[in-house]
């Protein structure tokens, strides 16, 4: 089974003097729109809030692995109204020899974060692995060979099913040692601490996705759903939970500002709720922890066109909502998107996934930002939204001065409804040029609202700002945006 992939930018608001302040001494919110707190709504949904209490919407894309995107990629992504990038990093590439971070890889990563800052985009650094690491194929990504202990057990790759490699004896042993061996645990934590020390305080750094698509030992037949579910639950409650505790402590030794996101196993994509426990954040003040599940349909990942009658979106939504609600964690979907959005079912899947995430997620990063004809590329060869991916390029609130948002799309436009928080702060909507090639029309109720509209132009997104300077808390607001 294949369970993995493959405007409005937020303004930088730091004073000039801030640039000379040591990173560890910088204030909590050195850029406009940086999420400083989790905000829980009456329905149990938790979002990310800025220093003004506005709920932030983060939308964006994964970048081509690993930190190899160009400045033009970041500039184009930001120009189209996106505010987030998820950046895969490889332990093997960053620390090919134990105890020394590779200067060239660090320069590449710093350069990418600098570009993100320049164009007003937040970056989520993803500690990425696929089938553990390079000893088991897949180039130089993942966990280093020097941190791979496979006990000399066999590994036979399946050229038609890369995910099957996780069940090979050598890979199972490697994961078991990573979770259990005292020295490997210490080396991994030390790597996280040193990288966090290197990146801390960067104004574009949202935080860290602590471990991509975690996996572990499966005792029994992995094709048996009951066996796989039991193994996933045991991992999440035991070895994986212990790893997350270690890695949270490791990052917090040097960085109390960044957000830290935990991932469940990939079984959440099959509607299996996570069994992860809650986690404590040792930072002073409110915790900055989040939940970063992936949103993939197994059949689609295997090449099928999506069948909506299977209930995938509904089952997935039901599976992921209880855990973040119980632990007050904002949800940021770290990966989603079909390998080919052009087929009829997958076109509908994109639309339905965007609508679903509007209801449960504080943000998302689609897989991924590239040009091509299929193969997960969100852009066609000319740089336009790939056919079928248009809903991902729709308008959305980047900052909401209110609560209980509901965004709906119709054949004629988009409607945002929310209740104002009474602060008078501006609600800001990104208006991507792809959705409004000839500009946008906007209407707002109540009539007392003040509207400022920067029209989309060329390839650049526009912005709509709505204020209710005299609105009382709870005032219903309706914003309708349609193409001109």
Lowest mean pLDDT among 57-66, 196-205, 331-340, 400-409: 57-66
In sequence order, which residues have a C-beta less than 8 Å from that of residue 335 and are 6 or more positions away? 4, 5, 62, 86, 294, 295, 296, 365, 366, 367
Interval 243-270: pLDDT, tens: 999 999 999 999 999 999 999 999 998 8
**Mean pLDDT score across all residues of the chain:** 90
Interval 56-98: pLDDT, tens: 999 999 997 765 799 999 999 999 999 999 999 999 999 999 9
Fold match between domain 16-393 and domain 401-484: no
Quote the CA–CA distance of 38 and 35 in Å, as a whole number: 8
Does 16 have pLDDT greater than 60? no
CA atoms within a 13 Å half-sphere pointing along the CA-CB vector of 123: 29
Does 398 have pLDDT greater than 80? yes
Mean of the pLDDT values across residues 423-450?
95
Interval 350-390: pLDDT, tens: 999 999 999 999 999 999 999 998 889 999 999 999 999 99
Neighbouring CB atoms inside 10 A of 408's CB total: 11
For residues 309 and 29, the answer to whether their CB atoms sit within 8 Å is: no
pLDDT band at 141 (very low <50, low <70, confident <90, very high): confident
Structure tokens at 341: 């959005």
For residues 145 and 159, the answer to whether their CB atoms sit within 8 Å is: no
Does 17 have pLDDT greater than 80? no
Quote the CA–CA distance of 82 and 127 in Å, as a whole number: 22
Fold annotation for 401-484: Immunoglobulin-like (2.60.40)
Parse the chain into domains and list their residue ranges.
16-393, 401-484
Does 12 have pLDDT greater than 90? no
Rounded to 5 degrees, what angle do the CA atoms 134, 335, 292 make? 100
pLDDT value at residue 13: 34
pLDDT value at residue 66: 61
What are the φ/ψ torsions at residue 111 (nearest 5 degrees)?
Answer: -65, -40
Interval 166-179: pLDDT, tens: 999 999 999 999 99
Structure tokens at 194: 């040193």
pLDDT value at residue 67: 59
Pairing of strands 332-333, 363-366: parallel
Query: In 3-state terms, what secondary structure has residue 292?
Result: coil
Q: Please say whether the structural domain 16-393 has been given the CATH code 3.20.20.80.
A: yes
Quote the CA–CA distance of 431 and 394 in Å, as a whole number: 7
- 109 versus 26: the higher-pLDDT residue is 109
CA atoms within a 13 Å half-sphere pointing along the CA-CB vector of 484: 11
Quote the CA–CA distance of 8 and 340 in Å, as a whole number: 27
Interval 269-312: pLDDT, tens: 889 999 999 999 999 999 999 999 999 999 999 999 999 999 99
pLDDT value at residue 459: 87
pTM of the model: 0.92
């Amino acid at each position: 089974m294949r369970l993995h992939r493959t405007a409005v930018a937020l303004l930088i608001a730091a004073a000039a003097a801030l640039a000379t302040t040591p990173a560890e001494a910088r204030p909590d919110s050195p850029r406009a729109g940086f999420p400083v707190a989790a905000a829980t709504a009456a329905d149990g949904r938790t979002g990310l809030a800025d220093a003004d209490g506005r709920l932030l919407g983060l939308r964006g894309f994964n970048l081509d692995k690993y930190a190899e995107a160009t400045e033009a990629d970041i500039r184009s992504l930001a120009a189209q109204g996106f505010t987030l990038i998820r950046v895969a990093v490889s332990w093997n590439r960053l620390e090919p020899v134990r105890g020394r971070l590779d200067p060239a890889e660090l320069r590449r990563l710093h350069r990418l974060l600098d570009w993100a800052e320049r164009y007003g985009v937040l970056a989520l650094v993803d500690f990425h692995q696929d089938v553990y690491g390079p000893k088991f194929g897949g180039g130089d990504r993942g966990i280093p060979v020097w941190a791979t202990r496979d006990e000399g057990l066999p590994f036979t790759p399946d050229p038609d099913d890369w995910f099957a490699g996780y069940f090979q004896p050598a890979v199972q042993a490697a994961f078991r040692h990573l979770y259990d061996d005292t020295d490997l645990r210490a080396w991994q934590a030390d790597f996280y601490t040193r990288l966090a020390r290197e990146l801390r305080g960067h104004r574009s750094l949202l935080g860290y996705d602590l471990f991509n698509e975690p996996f572990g030992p499966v005792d029994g037949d992995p094709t048996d759903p009951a066996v796989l579910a039991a193994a996933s639950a045991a991992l999440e409650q035991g070895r994986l939970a212990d790893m997350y505790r270690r890695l949270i402590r490791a990052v917090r030794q040097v960085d109390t500002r960044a957000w830290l996101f935990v991932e469940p196993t990939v079984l959440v994509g099959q509607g299996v709720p996570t069994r992860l426990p809650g986690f404590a954040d040792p930072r002073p003040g409110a915790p900055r922890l989040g939940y970063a599940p992936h949103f993939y349909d197994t059949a689609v990942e295997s090449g099928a066109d999506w069948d909506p009658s299977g209930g995938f979106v509904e089952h997935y939504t039901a599976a992921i909502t209880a855990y973040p609600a119980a632990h007050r964690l904002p949800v940021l979907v770290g990966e989603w998107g079909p390998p080919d959005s052009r087929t009829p079912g997958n076109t509908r899947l994109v639309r339905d996934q965007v609508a679903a995430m509007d209801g449960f997620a504080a943000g998302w990063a689609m897989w991924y930002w590239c040009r091509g004809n299929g193969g997960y590329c969100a852009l066609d060869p000319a740089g336009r939204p790939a056919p079928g991916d248009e809903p991902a390029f729709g308008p959305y609130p980047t900052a909401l001065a209110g609560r209980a948002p509901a965004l709906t799309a119709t054949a004629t436009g988009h409607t945002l409804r929310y209740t104002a928080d009474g602060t008078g702060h501006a609600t800001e909507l990104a208006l991507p040029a792809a959705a409004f090639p000839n500009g946008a029309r906007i209407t707002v109720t109540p009539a007392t609202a003040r509207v400022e509209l920067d029209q989309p132009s060329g390839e650049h997104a526009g912005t709509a700002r709505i204020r209710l300077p005299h609105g009382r808390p709870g005032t219903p607001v309706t914003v309708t945006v349609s193409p001109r």
